[in-house]
Amino acid sequence: GENVEQHPSTLSVQEGDSAVIKCTYSDSASNYFPWYKQELGKGPQLIIDIRSNVGEKKDQRIAVTLNKTAKHFSLHITETQPEDSAVYFCAPHASGGSYIPTFGRGTSLIVHP
């Protein structure tokens, strides 16, 4: 099965700084790479995703970059705001079968005002 690791597990930044979270995976068949944001007491919500034929995708202050050769993809948040504070999960999908995502253990992002 897929082995997924996220780093760092905790990230503390000042408001306005940038934050980067990295996700490494093991299954070279993975072709869909989403990032989820989970706020306290809520379910995960998709914030950005990238497919294997694209190297980078941007949506306002967030971006995702993919390095398929090295088997990792990263979440980038610029100009962080206190409302960005949450736990972020990567969940790469391997193609074939039931397409069940394997979630990383999460990164707790704390943005200090």
Task: Based on the shown chain and the rule CB under 8 A, indicate whether residue 105 belongs to the binding site for other proteins.
Answer: yes
- Count of Cβ atoms closer than 10 Å to residue 100 Cβ: 10
Sheet containing strand 62-67, strands side by side: 5-7, 19-24, 72-77, 62-67, 56-59
CB of 65 to other proteins, least distance (A): 19
- When the beta carbons of 7 and 103 are compared against other proteins, the nearer one is 103
Task: Based on the shown chain and the rule CB under 8 A, indicate whether residue 34 belongs to the binding site for other proteins.
Answer: yes
Task: Based on the shown chain and the rule CB under 8 A, indicate whether residue 112 belongs to the binding site for other proteins.
Answer: no
Q: What are the respective helix, strand and coil percentages of the chain, to the nearest 5?
A: 5, 50, 45
- When the beta carbons of 78 and 108 are compared against other proteins, the nearer one is 108
Task: Based on the shown chain and the rule CB under 8 A, indicate whether residue 26 belongs to the binding site for other proteins.
Answer: no
- Identify which of 1, 31, 15, 10 has the alpha carbon closest to the alpha carbon of residue 92: 31
- Identify which of 54, 39, 17, 34 has the alpha carbon closest to the alpha carbon of residue 87: 39
Residues in 59-88 at the binding interface with other proteins, rule: CB under 8 A: none
Q: Exactly one of 13, 47, 49, 110 binds other proteins (CB under 8 A); which one?
A: 49
Query: What tokens were used for 70?
Result: 């090295």
In the complex, which residues of this chain contact other proteins (CB under 8 A)? Answer: 4, 31-32, 34, 36, 41-46, 49, 51, 89, 91, 93-95, 97-106
